[in-house]
Amino acid sequence: MPPPAKSCDVRDMGALTSPLKFLDQDYQKLLQESLSRKELYTDELFPPNSCSIGNLSHKRNKIDYSQIVWKRPSELVTNPCFIVDGVSRFDYKQGHLGNCWFLASVGALTFQKDITKQVIPAEQSFSKNYAGIFHFKFWRFGEWIDVVIDDLLPTFNEKLVFVHPKTSNEFWPALLEKAYAKVCGSYADLDSGRRSESMLDFTGGVHLHFVLNEAPAYLWNIMKRAARAQSLMCCGTHKGEAHKHCPSNGIVGGHAYTVTGVSKVMSNSNPVKLVRVLNPWGRKEWTGDWSDQSPLWSTVSGTESKKCHEVLDNGEFWMSVEDFTKFFKSLDICCLSADFLDRSSGCHWKSQRCIGEWTENTAGGSIQTLETFCKNPQFRVRIEELNEACPHEDAENIVVSLIQNNKKRHRKEQKHYNIGFYVFEMKGEQVEGGQRKVFDCTNPVAECFAYQREVMKFLRLEPGEYLIVPCTENPGETASFVLSVFSKHETYFE
């Protein structure tokens, strides 16, 4: 079978402890050079001009982007700080940019202190060794990268244009947003996106997507376990203009939110399962049952009510899991490990990841073009006996994820092919006859396709040998990809 064009050895990738230098910029070297020259750093590769803003002429707001002035925090406040009393979901609110998908992920990030330290390196400040230079780490397509920025921020009428700090002298949210804008090409490249992109870029973990009207009955239990694990959780509403007037229940259409809590309370001796949600606008809240002003809180004991209930206009609110699945469209969970999916503490999911490439010789297209399909990179998976420590009756035991990377500098210019993968079960005689015989004689046991950066699917596979074939819809569509397999049983992947 054709091998993937790049090595499958994760050790070849940019590790978290030794990330790749984005655009070949070395943070420590640039910092020391600026300190020795006693000059504040200015980033030539993401300069303070219109190129870094990008094209936002379509935005309907009162900002004249030709009149933007780039200023350092010390020019805006007298005592700028990088972080004030730790990072919190209440430190910021969305600015004049449609990047609620990114800020919802930031809100989820603030709950996971270990992951926050990975993304936002410690010991950065506006006092000790300050030289106008900062850096952040992101996971991009199988590799960790270290991204350098200066602290010149776009302003209009003396106010920040994009994400706003709620504490006027706290600047980590604006600098994190700038670093991510640099990775994506410009601020305009952050305008609209999918929550899963930034969640994966913060963690490099396993991403799980649930369509809420098809979600399993035990979804709340999954969310409860995810909340205890190192997970980021975000959700989105049904399509609609994000800036339309909110409907009467306060939920904004076509908008991304952060899931910030999962709890159960006793209401008149009846258990009620609740989900807490945050609007990255920092305002506009749900007004139905279990909202801040809901009379249902009077049916809860004082101790429980005090623990959960706050009447604050901060964009955060509680609602029942039934209303959550009704008024929200989808839920994304991104975690370092998929262990939270199982009730058994003895069940540990394993992950394996490969970087591959569809080249002119290996971009064979979908199975509809069988004569070229067998040219695609192929990965053999062998699943050993199911782990008795893991509950497995009718439960999925494999998650397959495929991410495409078209390597365009600007995120908006990245053409997302219709990508996906097929999974074939390999019988003994088919293995001996070669992969073409598998494709000729066997229907795939699973497949998944979408016009997205990432496609993922839960699978239930019995012990045996399988072939995973990642591909684009049409032959000749070239790009690199990351294929990940997460399994709660002993699995061999090559």
Residue 190 identity (one-letter amino acid):
L
Active-site option among 81, 99, 100, 392: 100
> Is 100 a known active-site residue?
yes
Neighbouring C-beta atoms of residue 275, cutoff 10 Å: 28
> Is 164 a known active-site residue?
no
C-alpha span between 226 and 244 (Å, rounded) = 32
Mark residue 192 as left, alpha or beta (left: phi above 0; alpha: psi -120 to 50; beta: remaining).
left
> Residue 280 is encoded by which pair of tokens?
């990255």
Active-site option among 209, 255, 392, 489: 255
- H/E stretch holding 50 reads helix 50-53
- H/E stretch holding 318 reads strand 316-320
Active-site option among 96, 184, 279, 390: 279
Whether 53 contacts 155, CB under 8 Å: no
- CA angle, 164 as apex, 160 and 168 as ends, to 5°? 90
Whether 405 contacts 482, CB under 8 Å: yes
Strand partners, 469: 422
Would you give the DSSP letter of residue 56? Answer: -
> Residue 347 is encoded by which pair of tokens?
């069940």
> Residue 449 is encoded by which pair of tokens?
């396709």
Those residues whose C-beta lies under 8 Å from the C-beta of residue 409, and which sit 6 or more positions away, are: 185
> Is 279 a known active-site residue?
yes
C-alpha span between 153 and 156 (Å, rounded) = 10
Neighbouring C-beta atoms of residue 283, cutoff 10 Å: 13
C-alpha span between 412 and 415 (Å, rounded) = 8
Please choose, from the candidates 349, 354, 337, the residue with its C-alpha nearest in 3D space to the C-alpha of residue 115: 337
Cβ contacts of 109-116, under 8 Å, gap ≥ 24 = 109/202, 109/232, 111/232, 111/260, 112/230, 112/231, 112/232, 114/230, 115/202, 115/203, 115/230, 115/232, 115/336, 116/87
C-alpha span between 50 and 57 (Å, rounded) = 12
> Residue 69 is encoded by which pair of tokens?
């002035």
> How many helices (H) and strands (E) would you count in the chain?
13, 23
Whether 67 contacts 109, CB under 8 Å: no
Give the sign of the dihedral formed by CA 258, CA 263, CA 268, CA 270. positive
Please choose, from the candidates 488, 440, 446, 486, the residue with its C-alpha nearest in 3D space to the C-alpha of residue 466: 446
Residues with a catalytic annotation lie at 100, 255, 279
